[in-house]
Amino acid sequence: MKRIAGLIVIAALFVIGTGEARQQQEYSGNSEYSDNSGAFASSLAPYGEWVNTDFGSAWRPLHVDRHWRPYLYGRWAWTDYGWYWVSDEPFGWATFHYGRWTYDDYYGWIWVPGNTWGPSWVEWRYDDDYIGWAPLTPYAQFSFEAGIVWSNHWAAPVHYWNFLSCRRFTTARVSDYVEPVERARRIFGNTRGVEGIRTEHDRIINGGIDTRFVERRGNVRIPRVDVVDRKDASTERMIRDETRTRIETYRPNIQDLPRGGKEAQGDRPAVMPRRTETGRGDPRTGTGANMGEHGRIEPQRDALIERRNQARKFQEEEHARRQEQRMQNQQPTGRPERRMEQQERSGNQERRVQEQQQPRTQERQRVERGSQQSQRERGPVRAPQQQDGQRGRGRRPG
């Protein structure tokens, strides 16, 4: 039996290892997500840091709001490429038009670099009142021949989605009107998904929601906006003049991007060490796996550990409180002091009951004495005499 159990364990480990190897080969072999982090390293360095993840080298933003998520701070515009996301953030030209986003329980939102430019890499949901979008994850692989192909049965969780009223969809500041996550949970169940990304003449189009539907439900007119290339990687922007409205954006060929600093020598950008499930270190001293590359505590990881410790402490206190209450209910008597205290409490309760009943007893006795005295004054009660007709009833006349 021990030998059979050992063989089963070995077989299970082999299957798990094969699955992980297949997944790593799937992402490493896909040209869409080949390691091109060096091409973006110098441009994204001021706004975040690079970390090692299950998808390879990935970037995560720093100094953002705790409610931050992709495709939130900006606006939508209709262009020759379909729905174009015009970001208000300085790193938006790269992270919202190349690569994919996913949420990691350890690092938070992370961006996996990609080679292919697109107006926006999102999926859509809608109903008669709301329009929603969520970032595509690395499981969504793109090719000009097949479009978007999912590598597994992935479904974006609710907290991935941004929902907006139809009449607010074209607003200049989406973040001011997007629905909170609590309400998005109810909206999600009433909406239906729609395919968005397609290709036309070697051009990637994100059709998403039909413009006629948005105009009808939002009571607005949606103009077509031109997309104009610019040569520097500053924040993309929408400009209106007397003749037209245009979007100035930076969309280089990733293979032609210059690589400065260490990247010029063929080195990868500095990244944080890969997370491990064991050996997370001591969060109180900042030692061990919780430390960053430069000896500092990672804020998101430290907050996660603190929340887990608080939850564990609360559970322990609640369990101790319930255990003490259960013991009191099951064992009302204990030490002699406690028995004496309970007996005294019972005696006091009996005396209070007697004191409450004593006035009623005295009142009842007083009423009975008064009734007996009145009866003696009136004399004995005589039985009523029967009438003559009734007195002879039942006797035959003689």
Least confident of 12-16, 279-283, 359-363, 387-391: 279-283
Q: Is the pLDDT of residue 320 over 80?
A: no
CA–CA gap between residue 78 and residue 82 (Å, rounded): 6
Q: Is the dihedral of CA 177, 104, 92, 297 positive or negative?
A: positive
What average pLDDT does range 127-150 have in this prediction? 91
What average pLDDT does range 209-213 have in this prediction? 95
What average pLDDT does range 20-47 have in this prediction? 62
Q: What stretch of H or E contains 315?
A: helix 299-330
Specify the pLDDT at position 145. 83
Q: Is the pLDDT of residue 212 over 90?
A: yes
Reported as a single tens digit per residue, the pLDDT across 149-190 is: 888 878 899 999 999 999 999 999 999 999 998 899 999 999
Q: Is the pLDDT of residue 25 over 60?
A: no
168: tokens are 């607010």
Q: Is the pLDDT of residue 242 over 80?
A: no
Reported as a single tens digit per residue, the pLDDT across 44-87 is: 999 999 999 989 999 999 999 888 999 999 999 999 999 999 99
Least confident of 181-185, 200-204, 281-285: 281-285
Q: Which alpha helices (H) appear in 246-298, and where do they start and end?
A: none
Q: Is the pLDDT of residue 295 over 60?
A: no
Judge contact between 253 and 114, C-beta under 8 A: no
CA–CA gap between residue 195 and residue 68 (Å, rounded): 25
Q: Is the pLDDT of residue 227 over 80?
A: yes
- Nearest Cα residue to 85 out of 176, 195, 206: 206
pLDDT band, residue 27 (cuts 50/70/90): very low
Buried b / exposed e over 224-248, threshold 16 CB at 10 Å, is ebebeeeeebebbebeeeeeeebbb
Largest CA distance in the chain: 152
Q: Is the pLDDT of residue 325 over 60?
A: yes
Specify the pLDDT at position 174. 94
Specify the pLDDT at position 226. 92
What average pLDDT does range 15-41 have in this prediction? 53
Parallel, antiparallel or unpaired: strands 147-150 and 224-229? unpaired
Residue 45 CB contacts under 8 Å (≥ 6 apart), including other chains: 269
pLDDT band, residue 21 (cuts 50/70/90): very low
What average pLDDT does range 121-147 have in this prediction? 93
